[in-house]
Structure 1
Amino acid sequence: MARDPMSVSDARTATKTGQFADLYPYLRIGTGPKTLLVIPGLGDAMFDGEYGRQETWFFKQLFDGFLDEYTVYVVSRPRGLADDYFVEAMAQDYARVLESDTGSASVLGLSMGGLIAQEVARERPDLVERLVVGVSGCRLAANGRPLVRQLRSFALEEDWIALRSHLYEHMFTGVRGRLYPLLSRTAGRLQPPTPAAPGDVVTSLDAVLEYDGSDRLGEIEPRTLVIGAAEDPFFTEAILRETHAGLPDSQLAMYRDGKHGVFLEKRAGFTGWIRRFLEGETARVPQQP
């Protein structure tokens, strides 16, 4: 019997929110036969942990192209992090989510999430089908460290408007790179970031500053896509290439004209490369996608 087209469409974009183990807030999008676990970056500590209408809309737009084939889980860290909750401990928690709640999956880590995703894949390759390190690498670039320390100082002062504006300056290019920081400092004051636990932002930035997985890349077994932008000040072209070279089985996709927010500025191309990689297609290195 033919299925109702409306019910198929509804299932494709269906969402659910909750908490795994009463600790890890999550957003589930779609009901596809495969599973994609998304580990978000610093922004995860910058909101209250409740996936409301705005957060749901954002992730549905970002992962729309995956929903015919995948059930997408965006999984947050707990709120109220311990001061010594570094990347390795975060990875252990995500491994527990994979083992107990989602099952084995392809894993996509964005920015700070890419650091965590590497450790998950290194420690539990049996749970990671394919790995995507998005706008991230084996460690923070040297010239990105002062930028992250500046973000940390804003976090200590709980100046979320300044933190977001400063981050935008290094995320976007062209008109966006000029406009978004300005809007954040002006109209954005009407809707500032709302961390549930302000200390989580400091802890997250400390974890980024502390992490260096360059000497462990050879232990990562799952096939990996390293995808980022050459002008990213946090994970530079040199870091992307070092990460790619150190992995036993990897591909590199690098945008020449993007920064840390390339996954937003070039969303269709960025997610398209990831989809093709997850489906097993051999990718060439994009120069100007």
Structure 2
Amino acid sequence: MIPIQRFADPTRAVRAAGCETGTLPGGHPYVRAGSKPRSLVVLPGFGDAMFSGDYPPFSGWALASYFARYLRTHEIYLLSRPRKLPPGYGPADAVETHARALEAIVDAGGTIDVIGISMGGLIGQALARRRPDLVDRLVLANSAARLDDGARPAIRRFERYARERDWAAIRADLAAAMFADGRAVAYPLAARTVGRFLQARPAEPADVSRSLAFVRRFDGRDELADVERPTLVFGGERDPYFTAERTRETAEALPRGELELVPGAKHGAFHERKATFDSSVRSFFERSTAPGE
């Protein structure tokens, strides 16, 4: 899930945003805010598998608050993955269901920009390559063409936690990897104590293991040259999963790739340095166009 934070004055943006929740074709739960002709679809990271997938009615307001800076130009969709992922869930499965959801958004009018966060960035790459008609511009946030080799033991450890249904341990380790400030200590402690009782449980425990296996197996290096859409690769220099080296090689291999690495930031750079992230993405959207525009 994307952490929701409050901005100084989100009220005007929330009032102006039409908000709704529901399920799109392919079985994708979603939250929508805004009503502009251009859509911004956010594909969340691995943590999306760790909750029920049912968004309460107020979720649209929280989404509008978090993405307030985009509401002048876009309607925003937070598009979860389906529950009950199939065994061996891979890029072809992800593209098939996500394409059906994006087709429904296109049919409603407008064009689509995509922000893929971590695992969502892996899916975003596959979508942009296999269904370029559905993606105008792509942002890979704390994501790359593949997981760093040094991160594989951590993913294996998460897979063991998933078999044991130790969701608190997964959340604690993720929090330590995401933040470079005091939250790297406070959040893991909270996850392992009160979080064991307060955090949502996965609707489908198998989805956690299948999502982790997807991340561990994914390797899009040989397909980057076929991603013709303008792509911003945004990461943290201290990200332990999609390292600076993996991020750089991804941006360099993309025909229309741009790179921004945030000094000192880790796997949660898109959130911990959100002002920087938003400015970079807005600037990227303003100066880049898809082929033929």
User: Do both share a fold (TM > 0.5)?
Assistant: yes
Residue 179 of structure 2 corresponds to residue 172 of structure 1 = yes
Instruction: Say if 2:49 and 2:207, in contact at 8 Å, map to a contact too.
Output: yes
- Aligned to 2:287, the other structure's residue is in SS state coil
Specify the alignment match of 2:36 in structure 1: 32
Partner residue of 2:83 out of 72, 79, 83:
79
Residue 101 of structure 2 corresponds to residue 94 of structure 1 = no
Instruction: Map 1:212-223 to 2 at 5 A.
Output: 212-223=219-230
Partner residue of 1:46 out of 41, 44, 50:
50
- Aligned to 2:139, the other structure's residue is in SS state strand
- Aligned to 1:95, the other structure's residue is in SS state helix
Specify the alignment match of 1:209 in structure 2: 216
Query: Structure 2 stretches of 5 or more lacking a match?
Result: 1-10
The CA RMSD over aligned residues, in Å, is: 2.0
Instruction: Say if 2:146 and 2:220, in contact at 8 Å, map to a contact too.
Output: yes
Q: Deviations over 1:154-194 (max 9, x none)?
A: 11111111110011111111211111111111222231232
Instruction: Say if 1:24 and 1:77, in contact at 8 Å, map to a contact too.
Output: yes
Q: Which amino acid aligns with 2:158?
A: L
Specify the alignment match of 1:70 in structure 2: 74
Specify the alignment match of 2:5 in structure 1: none
Residue 186 of structure 2 corresponds to residue 198 of structure 1 = no
Q: Which amino acid aligns with 1:130?
A: R
CA gap 1:22/1:218 in 2 versus in 1, 3 angstroms: closer
Query: Structure 1 stretches of 5 or more lacking a match?
Result: 1-6, 283-289
Residue 137 of structure 2 corresponds to residue 130 of structure 1 = yes
- Aligned to 1:245, the other structure's residue is in SS state helix
Specify the alignment match of 1:3 in structure 2: none
Residues in 1 aligned to 2:14 and 2:224: alpha-carbon distance in whole angstroms: 41
Residues in 1 aligned to 2:200 and 2:207: alpha-carbon distance in whole angstroms: 13
Residue 25 of structure 2 corresponds to residue 18 of structure 1 = no
Q: Which amino acid aligns with 1:151?
A: F
Q: Which amino acid aligns with 1:235?
A: F
Residues in 2 aligned to 1:237 and 1:8: alpha-carbon distance in whole angstroms: 37
Specify the alignment match of 1:143 in structure 2: 150
Residues in 2 aligned to 1:233 and 1:67: alpha-carbon distance in whole angstroms: 32
Q: Which amino acid aligns with 1:21?
A: P
Specify the alignment match of 1:61 in structure 2: 65
CA gap 1:34/1:149 in 2 versus in 1, 3 angstroms: same
Specify the alignment match of 1:4 in structure 2: none
Residues in 2 aligned to 1:33 and 1:217: alpha-carbon distance in whole angstroms: 29
Residues in 2 aligned to 1:137 and 1:60: alpha-carbon distance in whole angstroms: 27
Residues in 2 aligned to 1:234 and 1:57: alpha-carbon distance in whole angstroms: 31
Instruction: Say if 1:47 and 1:193, in contact at 8 Å, map to a contact too.
Output: yes
CA gap 1:99/1:274 in 2 versus in 1, 3 angstroms: same
C-alpha displacement of 1:12: 2.7
Name the TM-score, length of structure 2 as normaliser: 0.89
Residues in 2 aligned to 1:222 and 1:84: alpha-carbon distance in whole angstroms: 28
Residues in 1 aligned to 2:121 and 2:144: alpha-carbon distance in whole angstroms: 7
**More deviation, 78-87/207-216:** 78-87
Instruction: Map 1:130-279 to 2 at 5 A.
Output: 130-279=137-286
Q: Deviations over 1:29-71 (max 9, x none)?
A: 1112311111111111111011126754553333111111110
Identity over aligned pairs, percent:
41
* Length, aligned pairs only: 276
Residues in 2 aligned to 1:34 and 1:166: alpha-carbon distance in whole angstroms: 36
C-alpha displacement of 1:237: 0.4
Partner residue of 1:116 out of 120, 123, 127:
123
Q: Deviations over 1:78-137 (max 9, x none)?
A: 111111111231022212222233454011100000000000000111221101111000
C-alpha displacement of 1:23: 1.3
